Amino acid sequence: MIEYKTELKKIISLVDLSGLEDQINSISKLINEKDLANFFVDSIYLQSVIQLIIDDFWIQSKNSETEIQFRYLIKNFFNAELKPLLYLHADLATASIDDMHIAAKALAATEKLLIKSIKSKPSEFQKKILQISLHQMSELYELEHQLNVKQKTTPERAKLSLYRSFDALDQILELNYLLNEVALIDQKERLYEGAGVGVQSSYATTLIALRYLNLTKASKFIDLGSGYGRVGLVVGLMRPDIQFTGYEFVKERVDIANKACTRLNLDKHVSFVTQDLSLANFKIPQADTYYIFDAFTDASYVTIMDQLQEIAQVKKIVAVTKGNAKLWFKNKYWTEPQEFNDGNLCFFRSRGSRN
Ligand SMILES: C[S@@+](CC[C@H](N)C(=O)[O-])C[C@H]1O[C@@H](n2cnc3c(N)ncnc32)[C@H](O)[C@@H]1O
């Protein structure tokens, strides 16, 4: 039986990568969804941690008069960033900084090959890989969140950043940003033409939001300005009980999101709709959670906030904001926000009054 942990141990010391593709192909034929997902997540996570170790070694060497002993430096990571990868500790304990550079290269190649291999599997298998990976990622983002809170006091140390580490998931979801070119450059809304991944909330944001929102079973979730649909796809994969709707101005983005939904069989509980939310004759439906990531022009915000405030007075709702969207919620309708990631992610709860 093939053990992905043993394979990952072998891969990190590979200098000659010519046989790697065959190696990954045979591993992925022999292991189950859970192990393949863990293999995928661990190899991406390890890449980020190794980059952090390389950066930290550089910072420590620059700040020290004497030579930094790598074997002592790496041990600091065993109780923190490397904690989830216990099975690699013995190998890493005897590694050198040069070994870290070798491992970084091998892991980058492994990530690409694993994606290729996952994408060649049937969609139901891919869906399971995505679900397991997202659960694992959620644990790692939580670890990062906790470590960053703790390490605020030691700024001379390099900080783990998983913010964009898992963007490769887009390839499995087939969120191809290049397919989208907004033709209506001269229209009045704020559409982030050509911004690609920049239009999207990171997986980190969505997973941290889901972890701390504690969404009620079978509740309704609306993304106002849903872009290419990352938020909805993550919610749909993690919480099949939630009814999710994303409204988005740009039809091409809606089409890409709905295509992913259909392919992964999420379309019974997740849908994306082409809609200009600034139109006064559009009524935002009632939901329990609303997500807004810097979507609108000031004029559109006025129309949309009027409606959300109306709903907030008759129903307990949560507004999740990313970026500057929070500035629109600092008023009597909403409680003080619960903040994450230095206020980049906020939860505002309705104060209610007419209920
Ligand atoms: C920064 S993106 C956020 C995408 C998604 N919510 C996320 O967090 O990944 C904002 C999206 O809002 C859309 N948008 C802007 N104005 C809009 C409007 N009036 N009606 C509907 N969508 C709009 C933009 O096209 C863009 O895709």
| 355 domain-assigned | no
Sequence-distant (≥ 6) Cβ neighbours of residue 5 within 8 angstroms: 42, 87
Q: What is the pLDDT of residue 337?
A: 97
CA distance linking residue 232 with residue 175, whole number of Å: 12
Domain identity same for 266 and 185: yes
242 in the same domain as 103: no
Q: Are residues 246 and 291 in the same domain?
A: yes
Separation of CA 273 and ligand 1 centre (Å): 12
Question: Last residue of some domain: 165, 195, 214?
Answer: 165
Residue 344 lies in a domain: yes
- Check residue 180 and give its pLDDT: 56
What's the mean pLDDT in 56-84? 91
* pLDDT at 244 exceeding the cut of 80: yes
Do 203 and 287 lie in a common domain? yes
Ligand 1 neighbour 277 (Cβ under 6 A): yes
Q: Which of 50-54, 57-61, 156-160, 220-224 has the lowest mean pLDDT?
A: 156-160
CATH number at residue 278: 3.40.50.150
Answer yes or no: is the C-beta of 300 below 6 A from any ligand 1 atom.
Answer: yes
Pair 148, 25 in one domain: yes
Q: Taking the mean position of all CA atoms in its chain, how far away is CA 288?
A: 22
The number of the ligand 1 atom at minimal distance from the alpha carbon of 189 is: 16
- The closest-lying atom of ligand 1 relative to the alpha carbon of residue 223 is 6
Residue 202, C-beta contacts closer than 8 angstroms, at least 6 positions apart: 163, 164, 167
Residue 123 pairs in a beta bridge with none
Q: What is the pLDDT of residue 225?
A: 96
Tell me the percentage of the chain whose pLDDT exceeds 90: 80
Residue 210 lies inside a defined structural domain of this protein: yes
Number of H helices, E strands in the chain: 12, 7
- pLDDT at site 162: 93
pLDDT value at residue 134:
98
Q: Does one domain contain both 229 and 145?
A: no
Q: Are both 312 and 196 inside the same structural domain?
A: yes
Q: For residue 243, report the distance from its CA to the centre of ligand 1, in Å.
A: 19
At 280 the pLDDT is: 85
Residue 37 lies in a domain: yes
Q: How many domains does the chain have?
A: 2
- Which atom of ligand 1 is least distant from the CA of 246? 6
Q: Which among 165, 183, 215 is the end of a domain?
A: 165
Q: Is the pLDDT of residue 92 over 90?
A: yes
Q: Which domain holds residue 149?
A: 4-165
**What digits encode the pLDDT tens for the residues 168-221?**
999 999 998 876 556 655 567 787 777 778 789 999 999 999 999 999 999 999
Segment of 19-28, 152-161, 173-182, 229-238 carrying the highest mean pLDDT: 229-238
Taking the centre of ligand 1 as the mean of its atom positions, its distance from the CA of residue 50, in whole angstroms, is 35
Residue 153 predicted with pLDDT over 70 = no
Condensed to tens digits (0 to 9), the pLDDT of residues 259-314 reads 999 999 999 999 999 999 999 899 999 999 999 999 899 999 999 999 999 999 99
Distance 44 CA to ligand 1 centre (A): 29
Tell whether 354 is covered by a domain: no
- How would you class 228 by CB atoms within 10 Å of its CB: exposed for 0-12, middle for 13-18, buried for 19 or more? buried
- Report pLDDT for 152: 65
Do residues 182 and 136 both lie within one domain?
Answer: no
Structure tokens at 321: 């904001």
pLDDT 10s digits, 227-240: 999 999 999 999 99
User: Has residue 34 been placed in a domain?
Assistant: yes
Give yes or no: residues 127 and 179 share one domain.
Answer: no
Report whether residue 226 contacts ligand 1, using a CB cutoff of 6 Å: yes
pLDDT value of residue 159: 83
Q: Tokens standing for 67?
A: 């030579």
Residue 9 pLDDT more than 70? Answer: yes
- Residues 231, 153 share a domain: no
Co-location of 156 and 178 in the same domain: no
Amino acid (one-letter) located at 327? L
Best of 164, 167, 189, 300 for a ligand 1 pocket test (most atoms within 8 Å of beta carbon): 189
Q: In degrees rounded to 5, what are phi and psi of residue 345?
A: -120, 125
Within a domain: residue 48?
yes
pTM: 0.94
**AA identity, residue 257:** A
223 lines ligand 1 (CB under 6 A): yes
Q: Which of 234, 250, 292, 320 to mutate to test the pocket of ligand 1 (most atoms within 8 A of CB)?
A: 250
Q: Could you tell me what percent of the chain has a pLDDT over 70?
A: 95
CB 221 within 8 A of CB 244: yes
| Domain endpoint, select from 165, 191, 218 | 165
Distance 164 CA to ligand 1 centre (A): 20
Average per-residue pLDDT in the chain?
92
183 and 320 both lie in a single domain: yes
